[in-house]
Amino acid sequence: MNTEGESPEDSADASPQDATPQEATVPAPAEANGQRCGLVAIVGKPNVGKSTLLNALVGQKISITSRKAQTTRHRITGVRTEGDTQFVFVDTPGFQTRHSSALNRSLNRAVTGVIGDVDVVLFVVEAGNFTLADAKVLSLLKPGIPAILVANKLDLVHRRGELAPWLRDMQQRHPFAEFMPVSAKQPKDILRVLEVCGKYLPAQPWWYEADELTDKSERFMAGEMIREKLFRLTGDELPYTSTVVIDKFEEEPSPKFKRMVRIAATVVVEREGHKAMVIGEGGEKMKRIGTEARTELEQLFDAKVFLQLFVKVRSGWADDEARVRSFGYE
C-alpha cells in the first residue's frame, strides 16, 4: 500500500532484508590518547524497557518500542560519546522461555552471543519485581564481567521504602557491582547511568566517530520503524511472529527535495486473518501504519520518503529455520 493513497495488495516474493545483525568491529590497538571506549550489554526479560533505555542512553530513537513483548528482534548497537568516553550499547531481544520456535531460538542466540563479550552488563528489571523469567536471564550472566542492576520503571513504584528489602534480596541473588533504581524517562537518571558505566570501560581509542549513533544501516532502520508502527497500531491482536521485510530501498535524485528515498516493504504474517487485521477496513489500518512510519523515517533520515507497503501470508515461517534466516535473523 502506498501511503499516498494506493490500495493494499500482495507483492511478489520479497528479497531478504539487508538486516543481518553484526557484532561491533574492534579496530587494531592504538594509542588511547585519554579516550575510553567499551561495550555495554543491555539484557533482561521481554518488555522491561530495554529499548526505551537504549534510546534514552543514546539520546535518539534507534531501537523500536512497543507494549507488546518480543518487539526487539536483533542486536541493536547504539553509540554515545560524552567527553573522552564512548559508550557502545548493545540492546538485545528479551530472552524467550515460553516457546521453542525457530524465531525464539534465533532471539536467544542474540542474547547469549552478547553477554560474554562485553565490558559491563546492564541487567534490567522492573523495580520491585523479580520473576522466573528474570531469573533465567540472570543465570546467563558470566562471572568476571561487572553487572549493574538497573531497576527500571521507578516512576511506577508508589512506595519507595519497599525497594530497600528488594534490593537486599537482589544482592543475594547475584554479586552486582552497582544498584541503580531509575526511570528511563528521567534525564538525570540517564546521566547517572552513563557516569556509572563509564567507570567500567577500558582506556582505548573510540571505535566510532563522535557523531555516530548506530552501526545499523538505514535500510535496517526502515524495517524496524515500520514493524514498530505495525505492533503499536494492531495492539495485542496481531501475534509477535509478524515481521517486516524491506524489498526496495533506493535513494533518488530530486529537483524538489535535497534528499529523496523510495522504500517498498512487505509485512509478513502467518494467517489470512492476520492479513485482514493489518489491512483494516477499507485499508485504513495499513494506510495509518504507512503514514506514521513514513513521518518518523523522514525525521530520522532527514529526507522525503515515499513508502509503499504490502502484506502477504507465509504460514509457519517462525518455525522454519531457513526462512527465519532469510528474513535477516541469525
Q: Give the pLDDT band of residue 220 (cuts 50, 70, 90).
A: confident
Report whether 106 contacts 330 (CB < 8 A): yes
pLDDT of residue 216: 80
The better pLDDT of the pair 45, 319 is held by 45
Distances (CA, A) of 205 to 30, 57, 78, 211, 298: 7, 20, 17, 15, 33
pLDDT at 74 over 60: no
* Residue 129, helix vs strand vs coil: coil
pLDDT of residue 72: 40
Distance of CA 202 to the CA centre of its chain: 25
Q: Give the pLDDT band of residue 65 (cuts 50, 70, 90).
A: low
pLDDT of residue 164: 85
User: What are the extents of the domains in the chain?
Assistant: 36-198, 218-326
Predicted structure pTM score: 0.64
Strand locations in the chain, DSSP E? 36-43, 76-82, 85-91, 120-126, 147-152, 178-181, 243-252, 260-269, 304-313
Report which residue type is found at 88: V
* Residue 31, helix vs strand vs coil: coil
Q: Give the pLDDT band of residue 32 (cuts 50, 70, 90).
A: low
The better pLDDT of the pair 242, 291 is held by 291
CATH of domain 36-198: 3.40.50.300
Residue linked to cell 537486599: 168
pLDDT at 67 over 50: no
* Homologous superfamily of domain range 218-326: K homology (KH) domain (3.30.300.20)
Average pLDDT, the chain: 78
Report whether 150 contacts 53 (CB < 8 A): yes
pLDDT digits (tens, 9 = 90+) for 101-127: 444 454 445 445 567 778 999 999 998
Q: Give the pLDDT band of residue 163 (cuts 50, 70, 90).
A: confident
| Residues 303-317, mean pLDDT to the nearest whole number | 87
pLDDT of residue 241: 66
The DSSP output letter for 214 is B
pLDDT of residue 69: 41
pLDDT of residue 248: 95
